Every structure is written in structure tokens, then in C-alpha cells.
Structure 1
């Protein structure tokens, strides 16, 4: 495949260069990244600091019956993590695609409407990926069980070769669904900056860059994931049980703990520009 380079100096055929570009964007806008990460972690840390998330984490330890206020606590946890992440992802995309001068506007209504559209697209994509993952997993299990003549009754019956085949199947399903998510990611980048780009157009624009997108995304996410895992390991050692001090530390470490999300947004922004999506016009 011939290398493609646009006016931003992005060479999508260079896997290390593509991953390096994502970190270069993040480093260039590091201070705005800190602000966005604090914005992303603030509701969760406040809810945890004042004890509103305690029923969820008490129930997760398996201590007795479901504690009082569990359902309300669970809804609050979902809002402060899953749903609150959507406007944060939009802000990261706007930062990397438009710059800090277009990050926040006095009128917050566009951010709210884009968040709703973002959630709708995300749920459609998530539903499709879950269904595809289920179908692929069921097919691979059926195929492997027939090849290996294993009925799944006991894990001890699986040998090293069989285990390697099952692990290989899991990796295949992950990479396949990850590839689909990346190829459709241009639609989310466009939505964040108020542009119209459908899943079909995103799939078409990324057709010649599939392998390089997957490899560069994995290469860029690996260091960020290792940093977060290391920080999580240290926090688990320091705080055996959730406490107010833990949520204060989490808030202070928000720029570090949010690195995977920020790097992913930066990387998909690189794809958005490198694939020419910024010059694409949707046909009605």
C-alpha cells in the first residue's frame, strides 16, 4: 500500500509514526488534557468521597445481602462513569481536532445534544459489537469443541495445545471487534466537532488502512494501559478498602488514570485527519 500523507504530516502507513503522532498531540495539549481529565473524574470522585457509591462497592465484596440504597448507588455509578465519559470524550476529540480555543463555548447546549447523538451512535455500535462477539464466540466454541472433542465439563481436561487454541480464539474475537470499532471511529470524531459522517462513510474512508490502524492503536494504547495498571496496583496496595482519601488520590491522579481514553481519542483524531474525513462531505 502506498503511504498516504496529508497536510498535517501524518503518514498512516508508518505504524510507529502514527502512534507517536497521538502522543505528540497529547503532549502538545497536555494542560488542556489535565483540565478535561479532572472534569471527567470530578463527579465520580465527589460521589465516592461523600459515600454515595459505598453500597455498590460493599455489595461487590460479597458481604451479606444487598445493602440499602444499592440501586440508587448503582445508577449514580453508571452516570458518573459511563454516561459522564461521553462529554469528556467529546472534549478530548475537540481538543485534538480543533485546538483548545474551540474546546469550550459559553453555550453548553451543543455539547449536550452532541452527547446524546454520541450516546445513540455508541449504543448502536456497542449492540452490534456485542452481537457479533456472541456469534463469533459461539461459532469458535462450536468449532473448537468439535475439533478437540471437548464437552467443556472440566477445565482440567484442557491440555496446553487446547488452551492455546482457546486463547487464540479469544484474541481473534477481540482483534476483529477492535478493528470494526476503529474503522467506525471516524463517525464519533466527526460527531464531536459537529460534522456529519455516517458509519458507512467511516468504513469506506478507512478501507485501505485497516491493518495499520489496528497495529498503531495497540502500540499507542499499550504504554498508557501499563501506566494505569501500575498506578492501580500501587493504589490497591495503599488502600485496601475505598475511603475518602482514596477518592482524593484518584482525583489528583486523573490525568494519569485517564491516559488510555485520551490516547485513544488522540489516535482516532489522527485517523480522522489522515484518512481525509475532514474533507469528506456526506451525500444526502
Structure 2
């Protein structure tokens, strides 16, 4: 079942126009949300990021788009898919109404939401071999738009194809200054000693929800020092650990980059603290 503009319909009957601006121009923003037994994890963070993304894209935010209204829309979707008592992944997409070419005829919006089951209620550490490489065919331009979750994901698609063709689990993306900014599907953290480093949002990385939680957690711990600074490719092989974060998998440790193999002790420690955060929400 799918939520299309507030109506729950069978997914086989959910239809988007061939003139849909999200399809034709990538004129769309979205949030991927994790739910556990009907509870939307870090919902407030998702809501405010969605509102910020819509403002940046100059979309008209309906007066009805309160946190309570959108949460209920998602709850109705979970119930329609019998997912209110199990872990689930929700994608909530907002797109500008059709009309116009590059210049839209209206800034009014429509939306669609889908829900799918997840195997585990909380974040588990995946300690299977996980090798990454730099994707250097294309660069992400640093700036405000790079931090918005839009449908413009050509670099991520091409990088994923490159990774699959070369037997890598993931690839790391570079900005126009050749700084490492993130992975194909999440934010990047580098550990050296007791320093945990992650690229600043101004470098072009996504303002990830779990990125924000890890920053928040580590800043409260005396055992680590959190630094938001640009990461050079040369730093990767000198690191003790690398890990990737996103809202679905939580924390994914990197096993290998080129000739360097990494530990995962800090990733394990932070994952347990992240699960505590998720339970407290």
C-alpha cells in the first residue's frame, strides 16, 4: 500500500504522471525514516530537515504540514501495510506539482510515501568484509544544494555501478577540491587515536540524521574528540578506523581501503550508544 497525497491505495494502482517534475527534473526532496513498532525514530530531526529542504527548493509548504499531520500520514501507511508492530523503512517524497519546464508554473507540492519491512528492530554491527574505494569519475560540488536530499542522485547511481563492477562494497565521493566528503549512501567518519573526524556540511556532504546523532554523542564523551574538518584522501590510509552512517544501517565499519585494513572498536562503542539514543526517542 502507498500513500499518495493522503490517500492510501494499492501500490499497483499508485500512478504518477509522466509529467511529474520529480521524474522530469529531479524537482523533489525526500526523507528515509526508520520506524520501530510504529515509533518513528528521530522523527523531529527528519521533519525539520524535510521542511528545510523544501524551503531551499522554494517549494510552498502547506499549512497542514505540521509534525503531527505528517506523522499520522506515515502511521496510517504503516497500519495499511501491517507494519505498525515491526521494524520498517519509510520513504516520504515531496515533489512540485507538474507544469512548466525548468521554470515551474507553481510552487505547490504533492507527496507520496512508501513503507517496507526491515529485518531488525535496532542497529546491528555488520562485521562482514567491507572494502571501499574512491569514486573519481565525477565530483560533488560543495554548497547548500549538495546537502539537500533531492532526487538528483546521478553521481550516487554511477558510483554504485562502479562499485558493483569492481567488487567494492561502497565508494567514497570527492568534492571539487578533492576532499573526501561522504560515501555513496551515508556520511563518513575517520578515527585516528581518540580523534573522530567527519567532513563539515559546507564541504558538500549530506546533513545526515545519524551523522548529527554521532556528532552529538561524541561531543559528550571525554574519551573522544570530535572534529568537523575536511578529509584528504591521503588521511584515509593513516586512519585507525573508517565508518559510514545512515538512518537504515546505523553504523557500517569499513574493513579495507586499498592496502589498509581497519579496526572497528570505536564503531562498536558508538553503535551501542546510538541504539540507546534510538530507544530514548
TM-score range, shorter chain: under 0.3
TM-score normalised to structure 2 length:
0.26
Query: Which has the larger helix fraction?
Result: 1
Query: Which has the larger strand fraction?
Result: 2
TM-score normalised to structure 1 length:
0.26
The structure with higher relative contact order (CA 8 Å, sep 6+) is: 1
